[in-house]
Amino acid sequence: MRLSRPLIRPLSLLRKHCDTPPPTLPRTFSLLHTQSMATITTTMEPVSPSKTRVGWIGTGVMGRAMCAHILKAGYTVTVFTRTLSKAQPLADSGAHLAHSPAEVAAQSDVVFSIVGFPSDVRSVLLDPSSGALSTLCSGGVLVDMTTSDPSLAVEIASAASEKSCFAIDAPVSGGDRGARTASLSIFAGGDAAAVDSVSPLLNLLGKTYYMGGPGKGQFAKLANQITIASTMVGLVEGMIYAHKAQLDLGLFMNAISTGAAGSKSLDLYGGRILKRDFEPGFYVEHFIKDLGICLKECERMGISLPGLALAHQLYLSLKAHGEGKLGTQALVLALERLNNTSLESNPGSGSVCAKRSCEQFDEHNTFSGTTCSPLDNILKRIHSKGNCVEKQQIESRSELNVAFLIMENGGDDIICGSYSIMEQYERMSGGGSIMIQHHCT
């Protein structure tokens, strides 16, 4: 793979310090002249754990799991995140913590970012005093995996070029499960040689699809989001219809999964919807942001996509109801409200147990003869043969989800210490354990 750029020093992902003089050009490098403009053509070496320092900015629902794969591969990793507690598991695994994106970049050859909104991307990468580009060494590479504005990706690539660096826009699809299992689809835009050089890192996260120059990765991801938006609406509408037709939703979902109606969305979210599991693999508020960017691009292109606009409005209604921090599968709540119905009463729904307050469960953790497996740990610990305890540690996200549902539907029987239940929900989504306090009557 060869790379051309006007009058820059050779790309080296292996340089340890910015003040290190550029290496002598090997014979494979050549100096070309085009219209009196000198151009250095370099052969880029792939990254490797022994030679490449990696920076990581953003350790949210997906970012932390993605960064962990790079750590496990043996790379030296420096991490920045606004909520340091979210990065603690990475620090425990050997990552170094930094206090700013600039501090990350000063210690890195390749810097990844996966944050929330385009404004966050601009801040962590382009801020003149604290942004990563301000301290990135010549020849360094920025890899932004946030879904963001294509125009911003082009701007970042241009700014990086002025500093003799490279920028790749590489948004991903696959949600929290894809992040955990390293099976993400990565849409890469930017210089092809730069993408190829960091492919050993990208391969640790999923499969990379090169889409073209700067901004093309973002365009591909936005088209992906448009496809998902209408797919999610269709999935939830089908479930509402099947429920009103008095079909067992579990049987129905299984039946359509192998036919033409089968989809990745059904595989990822069908079961979660049935269980009333709205934990975010991807936040509603972030999906609204993505769809908003899509609509803005549609206006610029002069095209009309009514399915996209409808999905955007439905997801906005979730945010209006305070559900922006839920996962995108929570779309079912909007359709339930529109139709004055609920899938919870369906025989195929797994939510009947989670909706009951803890006082209604006996010592065997059953209700109406139904074993409530999602509640086993938390309710048995809180109600050990009727004896109340003042505090209990929630040790998994599934237990937190249970506590959230009890709080939402059962009132004040569980009080979450000094945090609101929603803050605890967000905190658990980022990892760690929390304490709840149970008030007995």
Alpha helices in 12-97 (DSSP H): 63-72, 84-92
- pLDDT > 70: percent of the chain: 69
Region 357-361: mean pLDDT is 37
Among 187, 83, 167, 81, residue whose Cα is nearest residue 124:
81
Among 298, 156, 180, 51, residue whose Cα is nearest residue 170:
156
With H, G, I as helix, E, B as strand and everything else as coil, classify residue 320: helix
CB 122, CB 113: distance < 8 Å: no
If one counts every other C-beta atom within 10 angstroms of the C-beta of residue 338, the result is: 12
Determine the pLDDT at residue 399.
52
- What pairing do the DSSP bridges indicate for beta strands 110-113 and 141-144? parallel
CB 196, CB 44: distance < 8 Å: yes
With H, G, I as helix, E, B as strand and everything else as coil, classify residue 131: coil
Region 286-315: mean pLDDT is 97
The confidence band for 348, taking pLDDT boundaries of 50, 70 and 90, is: confident
Angstrom distance (rounded) from CA 278 to CA 220: 27
pTM over the 0.85 mark = no
HEC string of 340-394 equals CCCHHHCCCCCCCCCCCCHHHCCCCCEECCEECHHHHHHHHHHCECCECCCEEEE
Determine the pLDDT at residue 19.
55
Q: Of 18-22, 36-40, 337-341, give the lowest mean pLDDT range.
A: 36-40
pLDDT at residue 385 tops 50: no
Ramachandran angles phi, psi of 267, nearest 5°: -60, -45
Host H or E run for residue 209: strand 206-212
pLDDT digits 0-9 by tens, 86-105: 899 999 999 999 999 999 99
Domains, the chain, with CATH or none:
2-43 (no CATH), 53-214 (3.40.50.720), 221-345 (1.10.1040.10), 358-438 (no CATH)
Angstrom distance (rounded) from CA 374 to CA 371: 9
Determine the pLDDT at residue 292.
97
Q: What is the DSSP letter of 144?
A: E
pLDDT digits 0-9 by tens, 160-204: 999 999 999 999 999 888 999 999 999 999 999 999 999 999 999
Among 160, 133, 161, 119, residue whose Cα is nearest residue 55:
133
Catalytic residue positions, numbered: 221
Question: Which pair of structure tokens corresponds to residue 188?
Answer: 């890469």
pLDDT at residue 280 tops 60: yes
